[in-house]
Structure 1
Amino acid sequence: MKRFDRSVLQALSPTLVLFMFAMILANIASRMESPMLSLYLRNLGASVEQVGLFFTIGMFAPLLLQVFGGWISDSLGYLRTIAIGSLIGLIGSLWLPFVPSWEWALVAIIAAAISSALITPTFRAFIAEHTSENNRGKVYGLFDGVFGIVNILGPFLGGFLADRLSFRGMLLVAAGFYVVATIIRVSMSRRARAAAQEPEGRLNFSQLKSNLAQMISLATAGTLMTWILVFDGLQDFSFRLSDQFYPIYLKDLYGYTTTSVGSLYTIMGIAAALFNTAGGWISDRFGERWGLVGGLGIFAAATVLFLGGPAFPLQALVWGMFGLGQALYAPAFNALISKVAPRHLRGLAFGLLSTTLGLFSLPAPYLGGLMWENWSPYWPFIINAVMLVITLPIIWITVRPQRIQQEQSRATALLKERA
Structure 2
Amino acid sequence: MPREPVASSSLKGIPRGVWALGFVSLFMDVSSEMIHALLPVYLVVGLGASMVAVGFIEGIAEATAMIVRIFSGALSDWLGKRKLLAAIGYGMAAFAKPIFPLATGLGWIVAARFIDRIGKGVRGAPRDALVADLTPPAIRGAAFGLRQSLDTVGAFVGPLLAIALMALTASNFIAVFWIAVIPAFIAFFLIVFAVREPPRPETAGSERPTVSLATAKRLPAMFWVVVAIGSVLTLSRFSEAFLILRAQQLGLAIALVPVILVVMNVVYAVTAYPAGVWSDRFGRRGMLLAGVAALLAADIVLALSTNVAAALAGTALWGLHMGLTQGLLAALIADATPADLRGTAFGIFAFASGLTLLAASVIAGALWDAFGPQATFVAGAGFTALAMIGIALVPMKAQTPDAAG
Same fold (TM over 0.5): yes
Give me the whole-angstrom Cα distance separating, in 1, the residues matched to 2:38 and 2:315.
Answer: 16
State yes or no: 1:115 paired with 2:108.
no
- Listed one character per residue, the Cα deviations across residues 340-395 of structure 1 (whole Å, up to 9, x for unaligned) are 01011111110122123334444444554455556545554443333223211112
- For 1:24, the equivalent position in structure 2 comes to 26
Partner of residue 397 from structure 2, selected from 385, 404, 408: 404
TM-score scaled by length of structure 2: 0.79
Equivalent residue letter for 2:400: Q
1:57 Cα shift? 3.4
Give me the whole-angstrom Cα distance separating, in 2, the residues matched to 1:53 and 1:304.
Answer: 32
Matches within 5 A, 1:66-77: 66-74=69-77, 75=79, 77=81
- For 1:207, the equivalent position in structure 2 comes to 208
Equivalent residue letter for 1:305: V
Equivalent residue letter for 1:358: G
Please say if residues 25 and 154 of structure 2, whose CA atoms lie closer than 8 Å, have aligned partners that are also in contact.
Answer: no
TM-score scaled by length of structure 1: 0.77
1:36 Cα shift? 5.5
Give me the whole-angstrom Cα distance separating, in 2, the residues matched to 1:243 and 1:392.
Answer: 21
Matches within 5 A, 1:85-124: 85-96=89-100, 98=103, 100=105, 105-124=109-128
Structure 1 residues without counterparts, runs of 5 or longer:
200-205, 413-419
- For 1:417, the equivalent position in structure 2 comes to none
Structure 2 residues without counterparts, runs of 5 or longer:
201-206
Give me the whole-angstrom Cα distance separating, in 2, the residues matched to 1:394 and 1:69.
Answer: 30
Please say if residues 77 and 198 of structure 1, whose CA atoms lie closer than 8 Å, have aligned partners that are also in contact.
Answer: no
1:215 Cα shift? 4.3
From the superposition, tell whether residues 96 and 336 of structure 1 become closer, same or farther in structure 2 (CA, over 3 Å): same
Matches within 5 A, 1:1-400: 3-5=7-9, 8-13=11-16, 17-34=19-36, 46-47=50-51, 55-74=58-77, 75=79, 77-96=81-100, 98=103, 100=105, 105-162=109-166, 165=171, 169-187=175-193, 207-209=208-210, 212-218=212-218, 223-240=221-238, 242-251=239-248, 254-258=251-255, 260-309=256-305, 311-372=307-368, 376-398=372-394, 400=395
From the superposition, tell whether residues 138 and 18 of structure 1 become closer, same or farther in structure 2 (CA, over 3 Å): closer
Please say if residues 230 and 353 of structure 2, whose CA atoms lie closer than 8 Å, have aligned partners that are also in contact.
Answer: yes
From the superposition, tell whether residues 244 and 94 of structure 1 become closer, same or farther in structure 2 (CA, over 3 Å): farther
1:166 Cα shift? 5.5
Give me the whole-angstrom Cα distance separating, in 1, the residues matched to 2:36 and 2:140.
Answer: 28
3-state SS in 1 of match to 2:295:
helix
3-state SS in 1 of match to 2:253:
coil
Q: Choose 58-67 or 374-383, whichever is displaced more.
A: 374-383
Percent of residue pairs identical: 20
Please say if residues 79 and 188 of structure 1, whose CA atoms lie closer than 8 Å, have aligned partners that are also in contact.
Answer: no
- Alignment RMSD: 3.6
Q: Choose 129-138 or 108-117, whichever is displaced more.
A: 108-117
Equivalent residue letter for 2:253: Y
From the superposition, tell whether residues 208 and 227 of structure 1 become closer, same or farther in structure 2 (CA, over 3 Å): same
Equivalent residue letter for 1:393: I
Please say if residues 293 and 392 of structure 1, whose CA atoms lie closer than 8 Å, have aligned partners that are also in contact.
Answer: yes
Give me the whole-angstrom Cα distance separating, in 2, the residues matched to 1:55 and 1:42.
Answer: 13
1:85 Cα shift? 0.3
From the superposition, tell whether residues 105 and 248 of structure 1 become closer, same or farther in structure 2 (CA, over 3 Å): farther
Of Structure 1 and Structure 2, which has the larger fraction of its residues in helix?
1
Please say if residues 24 and 150 of structure 1, whose CA atoms lie closer than 8 Å, have aligned partners that are also in contact.
Answer: yes
